[in-house]
Amino acid sequence: MTLRDVINKLLGRQPASANTAKERLQLVLAHDRSDLNPELLQQMRREILEVVSRYVEIDLEEGDVTLETEDRVTALVANLPIRRAKVLPPPAEAEPALEANASS
């Protein structure tokens, strides 16, 4: 996202229809080149959001996971605004019963 895109978003300006059409065409080309069907891409999006949300609180309304193509290379791009990090519990220590079984 360019600085102009950010400013336009903050000011509530709508992108020009030519730009919107160009972005949609690029998205269609990226999907075609990646050979990912829409269901698989949607599943990937859900799983990515699920994993990231384990560690940080994300803004799901503003977040986006897309395919982008540049110079004939397709990339999966996740733009996920982070609200804050989550406090994670310390890693669980190995249980003594499991260690005893492992040494037997």
Which of 3-7, 31-35, 89-93, 99-103 holds the top average pLDDT? 89-93
Residue 4 CA to residue 14 CA, distance in Å, equals 12
- Specify if 75 maps to a domain: yes
Number of domains in the chain: 1
- Specify if 22 maps to a domain: yes
Give the mean model confidence (pLDDT) for residues 96-100.
55
- Specify if 102 maps to a domain: no
Expressed as residue numbers, the domain containing 59 is 15-86
Residue 11 CA to residue 79 CA, distance in Å, equals 20
- Specify if 67 maps to a domain: yes
Q: Give the pLDDT band (50/70/90) at residue 13.
A: low
Residue with the bigger pLDDT between 56 and 91: it is 56
Task: Give the residue carrying structure tokens 């940080």.
Answer: 56
Indicate the pTM of the whole model. Answer: 0.51
